Amino acid sequence: MALAKIRSFIDNSLKTVSTPLDRTVNLEPEVGIRIVHSPNDKTLRVTVLGARHLPQNFGFTRVNSYVVKVKLIPGKDKFETTSKNESWPQWNEEFIFPLRKETKQKFGKSKVVEEEINGSRFIVATLYAVLEDKPLIATEKKDSEKNSPTKGGEPPKKAGKKKEGQSGSSENQESTKNKLLSQFFGKGPDKIAESAAAERRVYDKRRTVGATTIPLDSRNFVTKPPKSKHTGDVSTGDLWKPLRPIASGIIGADEKKESKKGQVEVSLCLAKGEKDEDSDGQLILSLNRLKCSLQTMHEHEGLKGQMYLKMSVVDGGRVTHFWKSDRFAPTVSTKFSPETARVVADNPYKGALNDVSFVVKFVSKNKMGKKTPVGHFVIGPDVGGTYGEQWRQALAKPGQQITKWQAFE
């Protein structure tokens, strides 16, 4: 009798929890979005519901909080949620994108444009993890030992009292001046610099978990919102979308090879010369984007350093030109300007490029100046695989950009 009761209890418990378990079978990071289109108000209301299955740490650094940024594309409007320091954050924050916009024309006239909702427009939601900046336990102990008086050492000296009429009055005068300046002219220069530095530090601690794209197709708006102002309002319902690494959107991105160290999108072009197609030109290698998986970024965080990319021109075993990027924090996707992120190999005569090759390196450098090579690859005439294929295609098609994803080895 007791065994029968236990069996029935287990069966009933499994039935009651079967539905939520089915929703969370996929353990990829996800974000919940609800979009409501109101034709009467000419608005698009986007609600960030929450997120789940988020990474708890990046390398050896813990995640402090999470932030979601939503943007309407094409368009300039974008909004951010508040930060939540929960493993399964719930925001339920609503953002309104106006679809009726007024633009000023000449002679004081204004023009009202009503934007339509169709499949060519979409909402992009990007989730960021904000890392902690707390030092390790060992460093905290060292700092406490330095500050606390030791057995054989002397206790820290106390600051002497200020005499009346000395520096105290001057400090008070300066503080009152700063207060008056801040009242009339807003923040003082020191405050502005401090706020800018603090904002920069916050953005430096951000790591991109991933993004999701929701097309604004009319077929996606199939439900009625529970609390609607107008009868014509339509909603997508609660959508839980997986967070994917940010792609470049450039042709050839689907050809990228998965790499445990990361991959870059590079373009190779042989500029046409005035005299001959094979001479008096330049071979230009430009960098478009760096892309890493979430697991790869975790490994980069474990190196405890900042990353940078270096492209070099090697002619006859000697480096003639090179370009090096600024150091940046480990990230899923980083975009570069091809106009500046480039190296050029001269081609003064026929056969000059036979001994030339491009070397691309991915390096981590910590605060102590120690460099740790992450990966590299070579594009040249005597290289096989996709590296040599890009070289041959660029030489065969002068004046044409040959863009490919290349993986680090």
Per-residue pLDDT, 34: 94
Domains belonging to the chain, first-starting first, are 30-136+200-242 (2.60.40.150), 263-407 (2.60.40.150)
> Looking up tokens 């939503």, which residue turns up?
70
Contacts of 107-114 with CB under 8 Å at 24 or more apart are 114/42
Which residue, chain included where needed, has tokens 């697991």?
Answer: 295
Q: What is the pLDDT of residue 188?
A: 57
pLDDT recorded at residue 309:
94
Contacts of residue 126, Cβ cutoff 8 Å, sequence gap at least 6: 68, 69, 70, 71, 208, 210, 211, 246
The angle at the Cα of 201, spanning 196 to 203, to the nearest 5 degrees, equals: 95
Per-residue model confidence as pLDDT tens digits over 179-190: 555 554 555 556
Which portions of the chain are predicted below pLDDT 70?
1-26, 58-60, 103-108, 133-203, 246-259, 273-280
Q: 339-356: per-residue pLDDT in tens? A: 999 999 988 777 788 889
What pTM value is reported for the model? 0.52
